[in-house]
């Protein structure tokens, strides 16, 4: 009987010892309390607490956390009410301060985010709010980081996830955007038509220049052709005159080589006058020396005809 009691006691002691051995995982920290007061912060590794005296009060995650808060109603400087959805990225740097600094850290961060956002948006107008997200994010991060430092929390980043203006403002913004798009479209269309007109005018100008150059070139070619024709015609006439003169010179040379007497020469002169008579002259004056030969030649012709 005593043996079983001893075995049971040993098992109970072992269970108690094992239950008081704690292993802290990576990226976590344990807050240890002894008799209700803060005792230590356990980091990564194996730890043993005193049974019934020590207790793990809180397990604190050390990873960066992301909290998406519900849209908060805010009023701008020009009295426009809108809702803004924020996202806060934070990390616990001091587990002790995080455990004992504030009752509900996430609720505290949410309320602090809402009040800080209202203060910042209250100094901005609607247009500035819609176009100054980065400025708002920077101001909120700086304010929240300072305010949450006593809680052992470091705010790394704040983002405005969504800005929801009133329905009337959204309709007005959509109409303005549509008007801007139509205006830009009209400007682009006018610029395109202007460029097209300029290009067409430049094309007509270039075409007129080319036509003028072509006409000028054609006139030059016609003048050169006419000049060439006149040159060739003059060369032909000169060649014809040269050939006639050459023929006359050849005839005179033949006569000279034949050594004709005076009667033959007078006869040739008569033939020359006969050729001259074939023209349109109405009167021919024949020298007296040739008239006798002309009568003789006529008599010979008449005898031959009989």
**Which CATH number characterizes residue 140's domain?**
3.30.479.30
Among 91-100, 133-142, 242-251, which is the least confidently predicted range?
242-251
Total-model pTM: 0.55
* Average pLDDT of span 211-239: 86
Give CA separation, 24 vs 41, 48, 58, in Å. 11, 11, 12
Among 57-66, 111-120, 143-152, 229-238, which is the least confidently predicted range?
229-238
The answer on 218 and 152 residing in a single domain is no
Which of 41, 61, 81 marks a domain boundary? 61
Say if strands 153-164 and 45-48 run parallel, antiparallel, or are unpaired: unpaired
The answer on 236 and 219 residing in a single domain is yes
Among 51-65, 80-94, 115-129, 263-277, which is the least confidently predicted range?
263-277
Domain membership of residue 171 (yes or no) is no
The reported pLDDT for the residue numbered 91 is: 94
Closest listed residue to residue 169, CA positions, set 81, 84, 86: 81
Tell whether the model's pLDDT for residue 305 goes beyond 50.
no
**pLDDT higher at 270 or 298:** 270
What is the pLDDT confidence band of residue 269, given thresholds at 50, 70 and 90? low
The answer on 238 and 194 residing in a single domain is yes
Among 60-64, 245-249, 259-263, 289-293, which is the least confidently predicted range?
289-293
Domain membership of residue 176 (yes or no) is no
The answer on 207 and 148 residing in a single domain is no
Best-predicted range by mean pLDDT among 102-111, 228-237, 273-282?
A: 102-111
The answer on 83 and 156 residing in a single domain is yes
The answer on 99 and 11 residing in a single domain is no
Tell whether the model's pLDDT for residue 5 goes beyond 70.
yes
**pLDDT higher at 187 or 297:** 187
* Average pLDDT of span 182-189: 88
The answer on 154 and 80 residing in a single domain is yes
Domain membership of residue 179 (yes or no) is no
The answer on 161 and 118 residing in a single domain is yes
Interatomic CA distance for residues 106 and 140, integer angstroms: 16
Contact indicator for 44, 25 with CB cutoff of 8 Å: yes
DSSP assignment string, 46-63: EEE--TTTEEEEEEEE-S
Number of separate helices (H) and strands (E) present in the chain: 8, 9
Tell whether the model's pLDDT for residue 29 goes beyond 90.
yes
* Average pLDDT of span 278-295: 53
Domain membership of residue 110 (yes or no) is yes
SS3 state of residue 154: strand
The count of C-alpha atoms lying within 13 angstroms of the C-alpha of 124, restricted to the half-sphere facing its C-beta, is 19
The answer on 79 and 142 residing in a single domain is yes
What is the pLDDT confidence band of residue 271, given thresholds at 50, 70 and 90? low
Q: Which domain holds residue 20?
A: 2-61
Question: Domain total for the chain?
Answer: 4
Question: What are the tens digits of pLDDT across the range 68-114?
Answer: 988 888 888 888 888 888 999 999 999 999 999 888 888 999 999 99
The answer on 158 and 87 residing in a single domain is yes
Domain membership of residue 175 (yes or no) is no
Domain membership of residue 177 (yes or no) is no
Beta strands in the chain (DSSP E): 21-24, 28-34, 37-42, 45-48, 54-61, 65-68, 72-75, 81-92, 153-164
Round the average pLDDT of the chain to a whole number and report it: 81
What is the pLDDT confidence band of residue 39, given thresholds at 50, 70 and 90? very high
The answer on 42 and 123 residing in a single domain is no
The reported pLDDT for the residue numbered 289 is: 52
Say if strands 65-68 and 153-164 run parallel, antiparallel, or are unpaired: unpaired
The answer on 34 and 95 residing in a single domain is no
The reported pLDDT for the residue numbered 263 is: 57
Domain membership of residue 174 (yes or no) is no
Question: What are the tens digits of pLDDT across the range 193-219?
Answer: 898 889 888 888 888 888 888 888 888
The reported pLDDT for the residue numbered 258 is: 64
Point out which residues pair with 157 in neighbouring strands: 89
Domain membership of residue 184 (yes or no) is no
């Amino acid at each position: 009987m005593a043996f079983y009691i001893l075995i049971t006691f040993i098992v109970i002691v072992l269970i108690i010892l094992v239950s008081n051995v704690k292993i802290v995982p990576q990226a976590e920290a344990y807050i240890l309390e002894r008799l209700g007061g803060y005792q230590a912060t356990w980091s990564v590794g194996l730890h043993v607490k005193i049974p019934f005296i020590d207790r793990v009060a809180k397990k604190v995650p050390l990873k960066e956390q992301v909290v998406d808060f519900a849209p908060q109603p805010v009023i701008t400087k020009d009295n426009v009410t809108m809702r803004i959805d924020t996202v806060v990225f934070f990390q616990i740097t001091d587990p002790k301060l995080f455990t004992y600094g504030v009752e509900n850290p996430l609720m505290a961060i949410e309320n602090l985010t809402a009040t800080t956002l209202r203060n910042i948006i209250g100094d901005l107008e609607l247009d500035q709010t819609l176009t100054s997200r980065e400025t708002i994010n920077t101001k909120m991060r700086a304010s929240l980081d300072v305010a949450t430092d006593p809680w052992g929390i470091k705010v790394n980043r704040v983002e405005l996830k969504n800005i929801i203006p009133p329905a009337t403002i959204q309709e007005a913004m959509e109409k303005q955007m549509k008007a801007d798009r139509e205006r830009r479209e009209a400007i682009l269309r006018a610029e395109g038509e202007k460029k097209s007109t300029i290009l067409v005018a430049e094309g007509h100008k270039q075409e007129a220049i080319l036509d003028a150059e072509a006409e000028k070139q054609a006139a030059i070619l016609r003048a050169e052709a006419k000049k060439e024709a006149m040159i060739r015609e003059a060369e032909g006439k000169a060649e014809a005159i040269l050939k006639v003169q050459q023929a006359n010179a050849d005839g005179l040379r033949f006569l000279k080589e034949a050594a004709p007497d005076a009667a033959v020469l007078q006869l040739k002169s008569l033939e020359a006058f006969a050729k001259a008579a074939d023209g349109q002259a109405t009167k021919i004056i024949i020298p007296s020396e040739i008239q006798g030969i002309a009568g003789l030649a006529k008599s010979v012709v008449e005898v031959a005809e009989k």
